[in-house]
Amino acid sequence: MAISMRSAISVNMRDVAALQGAAPAGGRVALQRSARQCGGFVFPTLAAAASSLESGCAETAVRDLDRYAAGDDPAALTLRGDADWQLGDLGRARACWTAAGDFRRLVDAGSYLARQGKPDSAEAMYLATAKIRRSGATGLLDAAALRWNREDKNGAIGIYEWLVQNRPADGGPLAFANVATLYAERGEIGRADSTVRRGLASWPRSVLLRTAAGVTYAKSGRTRLADATLTQVWSEDRKATDACVWLALTKEQEGDDGAAAAQYRDCLSANPRNAQWHYQYGVVLARLNRLAEARQEFLIASPFQPARDRLREMGVLSR
C-alpha cells in the first residue's frame, strides 16, 4: 500500500511522542525487525524511508536515508532523527531534529525523558531548542524548570537570565517572574525588584509578575506591601493560588495567626489536595491551640513527612 509523506511523518510523530526508541531494549523488540523482514527499497526515497520507519525498520530507514543523500532537507533530517530515536541513539536524534528545526519533537522527547527519570537527557533535548528560532520558548522554560526541580537553582537562573536578556518576548512573564523569585530566594532583593519592574512594564496585568512582586516584598520583610499586592491579586483571580498561600505566609510574618488560618482555609478551598498547605494550616491551628483541628489537618497531610513528625509529637503515630 502506498504511503504519503504527510501521513508517514504524522504517524511517526505520535510514535516519537511515545518515546519507543528510549524504552529499555525489551520494549523495542517490535521496532527492531530482522534483516529478512526489513529488506529496504531498490530506489531510496523519503517515502521509502518513512515506510520503513513506520514498519519498525529503523536501520533500513537509516540506510535508505543515507543512500538518498538528502543533505539539509528538513523532512529527511526529521526522519533520520526519528530512526535514531527508535534505535536509542538520543544524541543523534537530537542533532537531526535540531538541524531540521523540529522544535516540537525536541520538546516532546524532553518531556518523555523527564517522566522516565532521565533528567540529563531531557535537559539536553530542551536546551537544543535554543538553536531554533520560533515564537515561544517552551523548551528553554522546561529546561529551567527541570533544573529548579533538581535544586540546580543557579542553572535555572542562567536559563531565565538568557531569556530575559536575549528573548524577553519568548520568555514572557514566566521567565521574569521565576528569575525574580529565585533572586529573592538568595537575598538579591534589588535584582528581584528591578526584574519584576521590567517585566511589569511589558505585562502590567500579569498575575505571575504581580505575585512575584508580592513574594519579593514578603521575603524582604516589606509585609504591608506584600499584603496589599497579594490581596489584590487573589481578589481578582481565584486561580492565583500562589498569591493566596504567600498571603497566608505574610499574615504569619505579621503575627496574625487568626488571619493566616482563615487565609489557608481559603487557599485549601481552591486546592484541597495540597498536602503541604494542609500541614501549614495545621501548624497555625496548633499555635492557636485548636489542637483537634490541627490534628485533622496533619492527618490529611500525612504523606508529607513534617506532618507525620507532628502526629508523632501529638502521640497519634507511634515512633
197-224 per-position pLDDT tens digit: 999 999 999 999 999 999 999 999 999 9
More confident residue, 34 or 129: 129
Q: What is the mean pLDDT of residues 246-259?
A: 96
Q: What is the rounded distance in angstroms from the CA atom of residue 191 to the CA atom of residue 179?
A: 9
As given in the structure block, the three cell numbers for residue 56 are 519498525
Q: What is the mean pLDDT of residues 280-296?
A: 97
- Rounded to two decimals, the pTM is 0.68
| SS3 of residue 32 by DSSP | strand
Q: What fold does the segment set 239-319 form as a domain?
A: 1.25.40
Weakest-pLDDT range from 168-172, 196-200, 238-242, 292-296: 168-172
99-120 per-position pLDDT tens digit: 888 888 888 888 888 888 888 8
Sequence-ordered alpha helix ranges (H) in the chain: 5-17, 46-54, 58-68, 74-86, 90-100, 103-115, 119-128, 138-149, 153-166, 168-185, 189-202, 207-219, 223-236, 241-253, 257-270, 275-287, 291-300, 305-313
As given in the structure block, the three cell numbers for residue 293 are 483541628
Residue 59 is predicted with a pLDDT of 80
Residue located via cell numbers 531498490: 42
As given in the structure block, the three cell numbers for residue 290 are 485548636
- Residues above pLDDT 70, as percent of the chain: 80
Question: Does residue 188 have a pLDDT over 90?
Answer: yes
The rounded mean pLDDT for the chain is 82
Q: Is 283 exposed, middle or buried (0-12, 13-18, 19+ CB in 10 A)?
A: buried
Residue 133 is predicted with a pLDDT of 65
Question: Does residue 178 have a pLDDT over 90?
Answer: yes
Domain boundaries, the chain: 1-102, 239-319
Weakest-pLDDT range from 124-128, 136-140, 186-190, 244-248: 136-140
Question: Does residue 134 have a pLDDT over 70?
Answer: no
Residue located via cell numbers 498536602: 275
